[in-house]
Amino acid sequence: MRVLVAHNRYQVRGGEDAAVARDCAALERAGCAVEAIFLDNEAIDSGVARLRAAVAATHAPEGIARVMTAARRFAPDVVHVHNFFPLLSPGIHAAAKAVGYATVQTLHNYRLVCANAFLMRDRAPCELCVTGSPYQAVRFACYRGSRIGSLAVARMIDHHRRAGTWRRDVDRFVALTPFARGRFVAAGIAGDKIRIRPNGLPDPGPPVEGPRQGLLFVGRLSLEKGVLVLAEAAARAALRVTVIGEGPLAGALAGHPSLDLKGALPPDAVQAAMARAAALVVPSLWYEGLPMVVAEAFAAGTPVVASRIGALADLVDAGTTGLLAEPGDAADLAGALARIAGDPASASAMGREARAVYEREWREDVTTSALLDIYRDAVAARAADIPLAGTGA
């Protein structure tokens, strides 16, 4: 299988970027020929540059040309698109289809239907644009607080919805969770084209035996991640939480008596912290795609305390692989944290079950096999869609 991967990297590297890199490496280990084309947002370093990129996002001809140049040279069986915004655009699928390549689109976030990609507004889930007009984003300035920028992104969403890009030009979609699949089906994406496949994770090895200590947060320090709620909950429970990550709220959280801010750390240090922690806390306020910190915690045999929202409510089996708390409810989260801290034996048992779930669902060989099945499905669909010569189709 020859796979061309196309991905628009983010200015601040995050879970999507890491997941794409892991997939590329896993596919190569599985014997595939892989070529990756990365477009970078580093040059989008001002308000004017952001606006220019947003306006061009509907078609992004330069990004499409770059990917297609590589495709013609590499001759892939499949073009697998991850993040397309803003330097690539959904138009890459039509370009690939015109040459005869099968295409796959991973739905890491909700950019197909939501200007800010989070399905979130005013610290709460918002689904106005799932079934309604994407131009509602302009009213609320959903994209970076800018009505002009929101108009540009809404135009991209509306154009490709009306043009039939998702119906006509994409052979298969990859949703990370059943919950995400449901939201995209509600938005009009054909359910028979969506396959559920979580991001994979190489096995870090058997979990460390012995007592665990402390609570851990790993992620972007931003509003939608619930870090302000976490700070209040930790204070209520009189517990201290180690925080690994960086983001716009780092300054506001600096010096908080219940948080130990470590900043960004290398992967091996994060993995070591996971292996030592009594639990990982994921207090998100938005519909997460598939936070890989949950997979990393489960691989380390570490239970997860998460918000009861979106996919997280399915990923964490309350009382079995971790605990759930109402999103945005600091008192409920504080109770869950106190329960973990006060019952190490129960936390340890949940960690063992979490490890079993990882081995069954998220181990790299399992998820890579599932991805190859999706590729074969996409190739078959593309072949069936090509008219035979002389048929007049």
> So what's the pLDDT on residue 389?
45
Question: What are the tokens at 317?
Answer: 């089996």
The reply to whether 176 and 245 lie within a common domain is no
Q: Which pLDDT band holds residue 366 (cuts at 50, 70, 90)?
A: very high
Q: What is the largest CA-CA distance in the chain?
A: 75
The reply to whether 180 and 246 lie within a common domain is no
- Taking the CA atoms of residue 52, residue 58, residue 61 and residue 66 in that order, the dihedral angle to the nearest 10 degrees is 100
> So what's the pLDDT on residue 12?
65
The reply to whether 245 and 338 lie within a common domain is yes
- Average pLDDT over all residues of the chain: 93
Q: Report the Cα 276 to chain-centroid distance in Å.
A: 25
User: Poorest-confidence range of 191-195, 201-205, 235-239, 336-340?
Assistant: 201-205
pTM: predicted TM-score of the whole model, two decimal places: 0.88
User: Poorest-confidence range of 36-50, 129-143, 190-204, 296-310?
Assistant: 36-50
* Residue 290 scores a pLDDT above 90: no
Dist. CA 43–CA 21, nearest whole Å: 21
Domain containing 99 equals 2-108+164-200+365-385
For residue 194, what are the contacts with CB-CB under 8 A and spacing of at least 6? 107, 172, 173, 174, 175, 181, 184, 185
Dist. CA 178–CA 15, nearest whole Å: 19
The reply to whether 86 and 168 lie within a common domain is yes
The reply to whether 357 falls in a domain is yes
The reply to whether 122 falls in a domain is no
For residue 6, what are the contacts with CB-CB under 8 A and spacing of at least 6? 36, 37, 39, 67, 79, 80, 81, 82, 84, 88, 92
Collapsed DSSP state (helix, strand, coil) of residue 318: strand
Dist. CA 206–CA 301, nearest whole Å: 8
The reply to whether 232 and 341 lie within a common domain is yes
Q: What percent of the chain shows pLDDT beyond 70?
A: 97
The reply to whether 142 falls in a domain is no
The reply to whether 191 and 326 lie within a common domain is no
Dist. CA 144–CA 148, nearest whole Å: 10
> So what's the pLDDT on residue 329?
97
The reply to whether 186 and 237 lie within a common domain is no
Domain CATH for 179: 3.40.50.2000
Dist. CA 304–CA 355, nearest whole Å: 11
Provide long-range contacts, Cβ within 8 A and 24+ apart, for 141-146.
142/114, 142/115, 142/116, 143/54, 143/115, 143/116, 144/50, 144/116, 146/51
Q: For residue 260, which amino acid is it?
A: D
Q: How many domains is the chain partitioned into structurally?
A: 2
The reply to whether 372 and 357 lie within a common domain is no
Q: Which residue has the higher pLDDT, 69 or 393?
A: 69
The reply to whether 241 falls in a domain is yes
Dist. CA 218–CA 115, nearest whole Å: 26
The reply to whether 348 and 254 lie within a common domain is yes
The reply to whether 65 falls in a domain is yes
The reply to whether 259 and 298 lie within a common domain is yes
Dist. CA 322–CA 315, nearest whole Å: 10
The reply to whether 42 falls in a domain is yes
Dist. CA 316–CA 323, nearest whole Å: 7
The reply to whether 139 falls in a domain is no
Q: Which residues pair with 307 in a beta bridge?
A: 325
* Contact status, residue 246 vs residue 182, Cβ threshold 8 Å: no
Question: What are the tokens at 48?
Answer: 């004017």
Q: Which pLDDT band holds residue 239 (cuts at 50, 70, 90)?
A: very high
| DSSP conformation class of 201 | B
Q: How many CB atoms lie within 10 A of CB 12?
A: 13
The reply to whether 356 and 373 lie within a common domain is no
* Contact status, residue 109 vs residue 173, Cβ threshold 8 Å: no
Q: Report the Cα 380 to chain-centroid distance in Å.
A: 27
The reply to whether 182 and 223 lie within a common domain is no
Question: What are the tokens at 70?
Answer: 């590589």
* Residue 388 scores a pLDDT above 70: no
Q: Which pLDDT band holds residue 387 (cuts at 50, 70, 90)?
A: low
The reply to whether 206 falls in a domain is no
Question: What are the tokens at 54?
Answer: 């947003």
User: Poorest-confidence range of 11-20, 133-142, 182-191, 347-356?
Assistant: 11-20
User: Poorest-confidence range of 140-154, 291-305, 346-360?
Assistant: 140-154
